[in-house]
Amino acid sequence: MTLVDNSPNYALQQSLKSKISCCGTGLHSGANVSMTLLPAPPNTGIIFRRTDAAGDGLEVAAHVENVVDDRMCTTLGDGKGATIATVEHLMAALSGCGIDNLYVEVDGAELPIMDGSAAPFVFLIECAGIVEQDTPRRAIEILKPVRVEDEDRRAELTPGDNFSVGFEIEFGSNAIGQQDMDVELVNGAFKGELSRARTFGFIEEVDQLRAMGLALGGSLDNAVVVSGDEVLNEDGLRYQDEFVRHKILDCVGDLYLAGAPIMGHFKASRSGHALNHSILRALLADKTAWQYTNVLRDDDDFSEAPDEILAVATA
């Protein structure tokens, strides 16, 4: 679909007003890392850069074609060995806040996990400020259903007027059980309903993950930890159904790897990073299933700060 001029009825692309930085621990690497978000020109997209010596100058676009690992998180790479891991929470925040163009610089192989949710990244974006750019925003409009399955896991994209997600999960632990949620991601719904939901894991899997070199930075400060039928975190859950909300948060971040916001409905059962990426690849491979279309303006307002304010530094 051909883009039109900057009609007041259409949304414009957005970036940050100023650069902003934060630091924290990598969930899987356990390393201390610093990250800086910098404004980028229209039509740049989201670009990740490694600034440390080991990164060897890696610069990679946030796109599903650049996903090189999705076992426990979403990892991007350029095919030459250098990678940037655990990008999904930041990508979810950028999607939820409507950021189209951004450079993300990180001095390590993994983004900081912060508190395990996307709320600190939303706060960073709000502190830096959001600016409209003189170029229409376009979305990927779903034209017909696309479905992928993997044993008892399934995901489907269908046409819809806005971006919405329906998700269901089921775990043997009574602390989680069966949960489902449907949310339409308009008018600040991401921040209000999803952004504070934290990643989660099971205490009995910790030793195995660490033997694999994963979860080295995980703690009760950046994850919900389940032991049997109990949640070990002293303050409990932020939402009664925090687990499915976090799965949706991850999904929002993974789907933003389409390279543009999606206009349609995503429905999944027991999906994870791998299946989220699979349905994106299936969608983009079928040129009859989607088209680019201009995004109408809405009334999203991201001015309210989150309840938890973590240490950040503007620069």
Contact 132, 12 (CB under 8 A): yes
* Interval 114-138: pLDDT, tens: 999 999 999 999 999 999 999 999 9
- Domain borders along the chain are 12-314
CATH number of this structure's domain 12-314, picked from the four choices 3.40.50.720, 2.60.40.10, 3.40.50.620, 3.30.1700.10: 3.30.1700.10
Q: How far apart are CA 217 and CA 231, in angstroms?
A: 19
CA distances from 238 to 149, 196, 242 (A): 31, 7, 6
Task: Give pLDDT < 50 ranges for the chain.
Answer: 1-6, 299-315
What integer pLDDT is reported at residue 240 of this predicted model? 96
What integer pLDDT is reported at residue 8 of this predicted model? 60
Percent of the chain with pLDDT over 90: 80
Contact 155, 278 (CB under 8 A): yes
* Interval 265-283: pLDDT, tens: 999 999 999 999 999 999 9
Catalytic residues: 273
- In the chain, which residue ranges form alpha helices assigned H by DSSP? 88-97, 119-128, 189, 206-211, 242-255, 273-285
What integer pLDDT is reported at residue 47 of this predicted model? 98
